[in-house]
Amino acid sequence: MPDEPLSRPEIEDFQRQLSKLSEPAVRDAYVQAHARCCLGRGGLPSPAEVQRFLSAWKVLWKWEQNGKRRK
């Protein structure tokens, strides 16, 4: 069902997949997820869309805090 949130294992798997990508690829995923979460699209984003957006942010934030920016 599209309005269902992701399960904890699904979120962890998604973050793990993102963490294996280059920084530009994760930034691109972040930008795409952000666009899907914008309220101007005529409705609220699904919980899964918001979770994917937050997951991309968390990966980028973790890299930034650890000084491990990726190329």
pLDDT of residue 39: 86
24 to 17, 19, 57: CA distances (angstroms): 14, 12, 13
Picking from 38-42, 50-54, 60-64, which range would have the lowest pLDDT averaged per residue? 38-42
Q: Domain extents for the chain? A: 8-14+21-66
- Alpha-carbon torsion (17, 21, 25, 30), positive or negative: positive
Reported as a single tens digit per residue, the pLDDT across 1-16 is: 467 999 999 999 999 9
Q: What value does the mean pLDDT take over residues 14-24?
A: 96
Q: Which residue has the tokens 């994760």?
A: 26
pLDDT at 48 > cutoff 80: yes
Note the pTM of the prediction, 2 decimals.
0.86
